[in-house]
Amino acid sequence: MKKKALKANTQCIHAGTYTDPKSLGINTPIFNSTAHVFPNVQGKIVYPRHLNTLTQTAVAEKLAILEGGQNCLVMSSGMAAISTTLLAYLKQGDHVIFHNVLYGGTQDFINDELTRHGIQFDMVHSNKARDFARAIKKNTVLIYVESPANPLLDIIDLKALAQIARQHRVLTVIDNTFATPINQRPLELGIDIVVHSGTKYLNGHSDLLCGAIITSSRLMKPIHRCALNYGGTLDTLSCYLLERGLKTLGLRMAQHNQNAQALAKFLNGHPRVKKVLYPGLASHPGHKIARQQMSGFGGMLSFELNCEPSSVKAFIKRLRIITPAISLGSVESLICLPSETSHGKLTPKQRQKQGISDSLIRLSVGIEDIRDLVNDISQALTAVKTKA
Ligand SMILES: *Cc1c(COP(=O)(O)O)cnc(C)c1O
Distance 94 CA to ligand 1 centre (A): 24
From 356, 387, 359, select the one nearest 150 (Cα to Cα).
356
| pLDDT, the chain, mean | 95
Provide the b/e sequence for 364-385 (b: ≥16 CB within 10 Å). bbbbbebeebbebbeebbebbe
Q: Pick the catalytic residue from 18, 47, 49, 247.
A: 49
Residue 88: pLDDT over 80: yes
From 336, 140, 42, select the one nearest 344 (Cα to Cα).
336
Task: Kindly indicate the confidence band of residue 4, based on its pLDDT and cuts at 50, 70 and 90.
Answer: low
Distance 208 CA to ligand 1 centre (A): 12
Q: What is the pLDDT of residue 387?
A: 67
201 is catalytic: no
**DSSP string for residues in 345-357:** TS-HHHHHHHT--
Task: Kindly indicate the confidence band of residue 3, based on its pLDDT and cuts at 50, 70 and 90.
Answer: low
What are the beta bridge partners of residue 71?
A: 215
Residue 119: pLDDT over 90: yes
- How buried is residue 324: exposed, middle or buried, by Cβ count under 10 Å (0-12/13-18/19+)? middle
Radius of gyration of the chain (CA): 21
Pairwise CA distance, residues 332 & 336, whole Å: 13
Q: Is 175 in the pocket of ligand 1 (CB under 6 A)?
A: yes
Q: Read off the pLDDT of residues 145-164 as tens digits, 9 standing for 90 and up.
A: 999 998 899 999 999 999 99
**Do the strands 300-305 and 361-364 form a parallel or antiparallel pair, or are they unpaired?**
antiparallel
Distance 55 CA to ligand 1 centre (A): 23
Query: How crowded is the C-beta side of 28, counted as CA atoms within 13 Å?
Result: 30
Q: What is the pLDDT of residue 352?
A: 84
Pairwise CA distance, residues 138 & 322, whole Å: 48
Residue 2: pLDDT over 60: no
Q: Read off the pLDDT of residues 289-331 as tens digits, 9 standing for 90 and up.
A: 999 999 999 999 999 999 887 889 999 999 999 999 999 999 9
Distances (CA, A) of 173 to 82, 99, 158, 167, 220: 9, 11, 10, 15, 12
Looking at residue 133, the DSSP 8-state letter turns out to be H
Residue 200: pLDDT over 90: yes
- How buried is residue 115: exposed, middle or buried, by Cβ count under 10 Å (0-12/13-18/19+)? exposed
Pairwise CA distance, residues 288 & 224, whole Å: 36
C-alpha angle 16/17/23, rounded to 5°? Answer: 155
Q: Read off the pLDDT of residues 324-361 as tens digits, 9 standing for 90 and up.
A: 999 999 999 999 998 888 788 888 888 888 888 888 99
Distance 147 CA to ligand 1 centre (A): 13
Pairwise CA distance, residues 275 & 357, whole Å: 12
Provide the b/e sequence for 196-219 (b: ≥16 CB within 10 Å). bbbbbbbbbebebbbbbbbbeeeb
Residue 1: pLDDT over 70: no
Q: What is the pLDDT of residue 11?
A: 97
For atom 6 of ligand 1, the residue with the nearest CA is 78
Q: Percent of the chain at pLDDT above 70?
A: 98
Mean per-residue pLDDT for 181-199?
98
Mean per-residue pLDDT for 84-98?
98
200 is catalytic: yes
Q: What is the pLDDT of residue 348?
A: 86
Which residue out of 103, 201, 345 has the highest number of ligand 1 atoms within 8 Å of its CB and is therefore the one to mutate? Answer: 103
Mean per-residue pLDDT for 236-251?
97
Helix intervals (H) in the chain: 8-14, 54-67, 78-89, 104-109, 115-116, 129-134, 158-167, 180-183, 217-230, 236-246, 249-268, 287-293, 309-318, 348-354, 370-381
Least confident among 42-56, 127-141, 207-221, 272-286: 42-56
Helix intervals (H) in 271-308: 287-293
Q: Is 299 in the pocket of ligand 1 (CB under 6 A)?
A: no
Q: What is the pLDDT of residue 33?
A: 94
Q: What is the pLDDT of residue 388?
A: 59
Pairwise CA distance, residues 364 & 341, whole Å: 14
Do 372 and 380 touch, CB atoms closer than 8 A? no
